[in-house]
Structure 1
């Protein structure tokens, strides 16, 4: 059985939705896998949302390991400021403490799902870890909000989402899989026409995230994120995609720049699968 490790800070409903999507796929047999453990960087009682996430994990009898990074930071009087933007020593020590707690488990793949900490070198060398980024491999970097504003500024033709291998450098790991969709399709044309002659900065100042084009791009991206995570795990578990020593290869052992799951995701979105 293909074994998964799950990492989350569990700040809100989205974290529960991600875990539920994978658990549902396991229960239906779509994923031939099991979640060996769930690790959370908060302890019980730190947040009502996080406690709701814990109840979900416990309801499925999954081993739950918690270790509060905020409490640890306070205990060691940690600081976020370091020369050159590298992780402070207390964060590296925190990762070491996490690894001690995870010694009984040996997952083949780990998933970051709402995990709000950058992984240090020790953690990245111990596990193959994947994470979601709300853009194509060649698209903008940054948060999903920053990505959308940049797409609007560029009058981009398409966007999507990708799963990448986690490295100590944020959002820079090798691309494992991705999906793409047009944002210049017929349904989008009236939305682009409505902002003609305005810059992204002007739209952001006047309408913000209530802008219809902004909302449409976000919606089309969001509805693809959960299927992309599930289908990416499925592709890895079936060895259609392989992660070996930081390199991504196909089922013939050839290096690839990400596995294109656009057709599979589109069929799911359109209800044909």
Structure 2
């Protein structure tokens, strides 16, 4: 990419295989999302998503949280690396770290996360098992603006997935994941579109 590329920029944070990251990056490359991914960061050196990003020609970085004495020290290093590219949006895509309030406040209103429930229901972990146990008819996923409170920021977009009578937490999780990629792209189109106005 040349410096004349004026599209909004994304930095994507991952901890694992990065399936949402790959879907977002491919959509950017195809032109269907008016943005470009300038950096993918993982807090885990063995995250398969890092190699996937490299194969797409995206700049990558590994900031191993285990190398830092405190959560704050890790977040400071993460912030410093992000500032080297100054993204318009930070996209959390399977990033399994709770960020400090200080870090969130630095990027307030410019950081998105995807969560596998119909927020405000079931913040935190084990969302699918909790939805089944409660007898809910639908589960789903939400993309929200990150706030200092866990999974509590304003929801940008949601998708609903019916809970079948024979669903387990695993089968439900698989079906929700199939809907997550399109949901995240829809949410980014909404957020990036606001920047263009």
What's the TM-score, normalizing by structure 2? 0.84
Q: Would the aligned equivalents of 1:124 and 1:166 in 2 still touch at CA under 8 Å?
A: yes
Query: In 1, Cα distance between the equivalents of 2:128 and 2:99?
Result: 25
Q: How far apart in 2 are the matches of 1:136 and 1:125? A: 24
Cα distance in 2, alignment partners of residues 61 and 9 from structure 1: 19
Displacement of 1:155? 1.8
Structure 2 contact 11–82 (Cα < 8 Å) conserved:
no
The change in CA–CA distance for 1:217 and 1:112 in structure 2 (over 3 A counts) is same
Select the structure with the greater relative contact order (CA < 8 A; seq sep ≥ 6).
2
User: 1:162, CA displacement in angstroms?
Assistant: 0.3
Corresponding position of 2:167: 213
Secondary structure at 2:136 match in 1: coil
SS at match of 2:147: coil
Match of 1:227 in 2: 182
Given that 1:5 and 1:37 are in contact with CA atoms closer than 8 Å, whether structure 2 keeps it comes out as: yes
Distance in 2 of aligned mates of 1:67 and 1:150: 32
Per the alignment, residue 4 of structure 2 pairs with: none
Given the alignment, which residue of 160, 171, 180 partners 1:180? 160
Q: Find the residue that maps to 1:58 and give its secondary structure.
A: helix
Q: 1:44-63, aligned counterparts within 5 Å?
A: 47=46, 50=47, 52-63=48-59
Task: Return the alpha-carbon distance in structure 1 between the equivalents of residues 93 and 150 of structure 2.
Answer: 15
CA distance in 1, matches of 2:92, 2:135: 31
8 Å contact kept, 1:42–1:66: yes
Shift of 1:216: 4.8
Do 1:119 and 1:166's aligned partners in 2 also have CA atoms closer than 8 Å? no
Summarize the alignment of residues 54-203 of structure 1 with structure 2, pairs less than 5 Å apart: 54-73=50-69, 90-127=70-107, 128-143=110-125, 146-183=126-163, 188=164, 191=165
When the two chains are superposed, the root-mean-square deviation of aligned CA atoms in Å is: 2.1
SS of residue matched to 2:186: helix
Partner in structure 2 of residue 25 of structure 1:
27
Q: Distance in 2 between matches of 1:223 and 1:23?
A: 17
Structure 1 regions of 5+ residues with no counterpart? 74-89, 192-211, 243-250, 252-273
The alpha-carbon distance between structure 1 residues 121 and 139, as it changes in their structure 2 partners (threshold 3 A), is: closer
Does the C-alpha gap of structure 1 residues 153 and 60 become closer, same or farther in structure 2, counting only changes over 3 Å?
closer
Greater radius of gyration (CA):
1
Conservation of the 8 A alpha-carbon contact between 2:41 and 2:50: no
Instruction: Answer 1 or 2: which has greater helix percent.
Output: 1
Measure, in 2, the Cα distance between the counterparts of 1:150 and 1:25. Answer: 32
Q: Secondary structure of the equivalent of 1:213?
A: coil
Structure 1 residues 150 and 26, CA gap change in structure 2 (3 angstroms):
same
Give the TM-score of the pair, scaled to structure 1: 0.62
